[in-house]
A and B are shown apart, each in its own frame.
Chain A
């Protein structure tokens, strides 16, 4: 049985890193939060940029980030007049049993006093967590997020299938895998639904992707679009294009759909492969999956992406040998060795599985070594979502321009 070495949290979850999170409910208080984090080893400050109005989609993503087992302790820094309050975030994070402290700038008497007090709180937390030792845990305590960005023709051929092999190995050893980017699943509903563990999950998959197709049609985008470049690059049908993207999640049964919307934010309730209903935009997609509990991220890229994450190691896998050699400072795995036959899909996939376990046990990824702390909270437009609910699907047509107007009419 494979084990990884992590830090056990009070709720029994296992962190692969020992981050201190300085979390601000909105961007008004991010600068003082950064000044606090920069003074304490292992601390990182994050925020969201959707304003201070209360929105569960935003609140839940921030709460999920604080709950992630890679976070050892949380300091909330609020301004004081925001609707999305520190209290709400603290209530969401506290059930994990990790230390959660709050400072409100308007109550503390300004940012200088807040910073001074915040550094003292964080210093104490840092000293305490430094006592924690890594211990061995089964892979049932590990959740891997898979993501792709900056794709090219080698993504569907080498990097995604190789990460898929690793994802299958992790699931077979009792682990959890999540992939999102609902937009990239369009056209593969039938394939994903067939792999659902039951009829209810199959229905949820159809509903999730159907809803995304509706959004895209409302925006005038044909979700089953193939570009001239796709076809010239060798992709014959939309099925082939989409299957290349979803292959990074492997081939195992799908346990369920994890919501990220206002109706609720879901965490996996058991091990296995899960889908997250999330954005196709790389950094917010990773942020969403880490908020759902993923401790490690495997990120495939053909052209070469450099992003990391504030609290989770991101392993970069490229299927393009040229990208690997040009961007070796950013790329962790060269899946391009599959192309010349020097390695096989399976051998590279097994290597990625071992990399994931080693990274989970403390080995730093390239993005971590460089100190990249990407973090973006995604939010759909509440207004647009409401319009889609009241708008009959037949009123939404593909094609440029027309459809967005058609989408607006029926509801009003």
Chain B
């Protein structure tokens, strides 16, 4: 079964360790290896990308490494892909670096 790793126990996202497709069930493991949940994917998610471990509303903090890595810019359901389309940096917008070609 595909896996996703929660790096810090405070995290509300986990990182998938292989490419996963629609309908795949992903086993989410805590840092100690405990199975936290087994969500079924509603969309494809690539290796190294994140899924939500709890439902987030717009403005909620996204936590990885036990720290805030950004803020939800739209509602995100459990098991849903978390990335630049639904999260913004709390410091500098990521789109600037990418689209601006700095």
**Residue ranges of A at the interface with B (Cβ–Cβ < 8 Å):** 153-154, 157-158, 161, 165, 187, 191, 222, 224-228, 231, 233-234, 236-240, 243-244, 247, 251, 338-341, 343-347, 398-399
Determine which of B29, B30, B47, B82 lies in contact with A236 in the assembled complex, contact meaning CB atoms within 8 Å.
Answer: B82
> Is the beta-carbon distance between A340 and B3 smaller than 8 angstroms?
yes
> Is the beta-carbon distance between B98 and A226 smaller than 8 angstroms?
yes
> Is the beta-carbon distance between B5 and A338 smaller than 8 angstroms?
yes
Contact pattern, B 2-33, Cβ under 8 Å of A = 1, otherwise 0: 01010110000001011000000001011111
> Is the beta-carbon distance between A222 and B3 smaller than 8 angstroms?
no
Contact pattern, B 75-102, Cβ under 8 Å of A = 1, otherwise 0: 0000000111001111110100110001
**Residue ranges of B at the interface with A (Cβ–Cβ < 8 Å):** 3, 5, 7-8, 15, 17-18, 27, 29-33, 46-50, 62, 64-70, 82-84, 87-92, 94, 97-98, 102
B95 to chain A minimum Cβ distance, whole angstroms, is 9
Determine which of B17, B47, B64, B92 lies in contact with A240 in the assembled complex, contact meaning CB atoms within 8 Å.
Answer: B64
> Is the beta-carbon distance between B5 and A339 smaller than 8 angstroms?
yes
> Is the beta-carbon distance between B92 and A224 smaller than 8 angstroms?
yes
CB-defined contacts of B31 to chain A, threshold 8 Å: 161, 165, 344-346
A244 to B65, CA, bound (A): 7
A240 to B30, CA, bound (A): 19
Residue of B nearest to A345 (CB): B31
A111 to B47, CA, bound (A): 58
A344 to B7, CA, bound (A): 10
B41 to chain A minimum Cβ distance, whole angstroms, is 15
Q: Which 6 A-B pairs have the closest CB atoms?
A: A344-B33, A234-B48, A237-B89, A234-B49, A339-B17, A240-B69
Residue of A nearest to B49 (CB): A234
